[in-house]
Amino acid sequence: MSELNQLRKDLKALSTVARAKGSAKYFKTGKGEYGEGDIFLGVTVPDTRKIAKKYRSLFPEDLYELARSKFHEERLCALLILVGQYSKAKTDQERIELFEFWLMLLRENYLNNWDLIDTSAPYLGEILSRHLGYNAEFIHGLAKSENLWERRASIMLTFALIRVKKFGPTKAIARDLLKDKHDLIHKAVGWMLREMGNRDKPELTRFLNQYKNQMPRTMLRYAIEKFDEEERQQYLRR
């Protein structure tokens, strides 16, 4: 049995029908919902992570096949393996190839739910700090995409930069997304602004004071979640 087939067998062995039904509901797979048509095996994230660790050296061609699976957990497992391989990469060329592979999956719409974006973008976004050609125009392009998941990826990629206290890209993409209509974008932007504030509250406060009246309420609530109650109420009253 090939390594890929064994991986799939191992995932299937950890699945349950009840969990698959619950996941399908949680990730909004009904008609007209953002995850419409997605199919779940019914495997927990911790179990999926264990399988990804076991098969962390999966060959590129098998990883590509896994990442294009109809099953959500198989795509998630592929992304976890990809993130692991990126973290172990020894050269910029390896990192570029892995990031370009991820970007291809994004543009082919295999990263088609928020957990797939959030599991991968904050880690692979590390490449943005290496100045390897992924400039402001590149990330602004994702933010302006008609594809929901590309827009979410644009802000989530900046998490890696927040970790090293480079806040400019997060603020720039947040401004791009202020008028976005989707709740999943409001939550992601608010989350990244909150992470920025966790490292530099005055930086967040300056941003909020300038843009609070333009921010969707959900975005604002997420951004100020760590503020004390009095501060929160001041911003919510706007």
> So what's the pLDDT on residue 27?
96
Mean pLDDT for 203-232 is 96
User: What share of the chain has pLDDT > 70, as a percent?
Assistant: 100
Q: Over the range 66-104, which residues count as b (16 or more CB within 10 Å of their CB) and which as e?
A: bbebebbbbbbbbbbbbbbbbeebeeeeebbebbebbbe
Could you tell me if residue 49 is inside a domain?
yes
Residue 143 lies in a domain: no
pLDDT score recorded for residue 210: 96
Which candidate, 19, 36, 15, places its Cα nearest to that of 27? 36
Which of 117, 134, 151 terminates a domain? The answer is 134
Q: Domain holding 50: CATH number? A: 1.25.10.90
Q: Which domain holds residue 62?
A: 1-134
Pair of tokens at residue 184: 């999943």
Judged against a pLDDT cut of 80, whether residue 131 lies above it is answered with: no
Confidence (pLDDT) at 39: 97
- pLDDT mean over 13-25: 97
Number of domains in the chain: 2
Q: State pLDDT tens for residues 169-213.
A: 999 999 999 999 999 999 999 999 999 999 999 999 999 999 999
The answer, yes or no, to whether residue 123 has pLDDT greater than 90, is yes
Residues 126 and 175 in one domain: no
- If asked whether residues 17 and 68 sit together in one domain, one would say yes
Q: Is residue 140 part of a domain?
A: no
| pLDDT tens-place string over residues 62-100 | 999 999 999 999 999 999 999 999 999 999 999 999 999
pLDDT surpasses 80 at 134: no
Confidence at residue 129, expressed as pLDDT on a 0 to 100 scale: 87
Query: Looking at the predicted structure, is the pLDDT value of residue 133 above 80?
Result: no
- Mean pLDDT score, 22-29: 96
pLDDT band of 26, cuts 50, 70, 90: very high
Q: Is residue 128 domain-resident?
A: yes
Averaged pLDDT, 148-171: 96
Q: Above 80 in pLDDT, residue 238?
A: no
Q: Is the pLDDT of residue 225 over 90?
A: yes
Look at residue 136 and tell me whether its pLDDT is greater than 90.
no
The model's pTM: 0.94
Asked whether residue 128 falls in the same domain as residue 173, the answer is no
Q: Quick check: is 237 in a domain?
A: yes
CB neighbours of residue 38 within 10 Å: 19
Q: Spell out the residues 6+ positions from residue 122 whose beta carbon is closer than 8 angstroms to its own.
A: 156, 157, 159, 160
Torsion 123-127-130-134 (CA) sign: negative
Mean pLDDT, the chain, integer: 95
Residue finishing a domain among 134, 153, 176: 134
> Is residue 91 a part of any domain in this protein?
yes
Is 1 a residue whose pLDDT tops 80? no
**160 lies in a domain?**
no
Instruction: Tell me which DSSP letter residue 128 carries.
Output: G
Asked whether the predicted pLDDT for residue 128 surpasses 80, the reply is yes
Tokens 């969990």 identify what position? 19
Cβ-contact 160, 126 below 8 angstroms: yes
Q: 120 and 217: one domain?
A: no
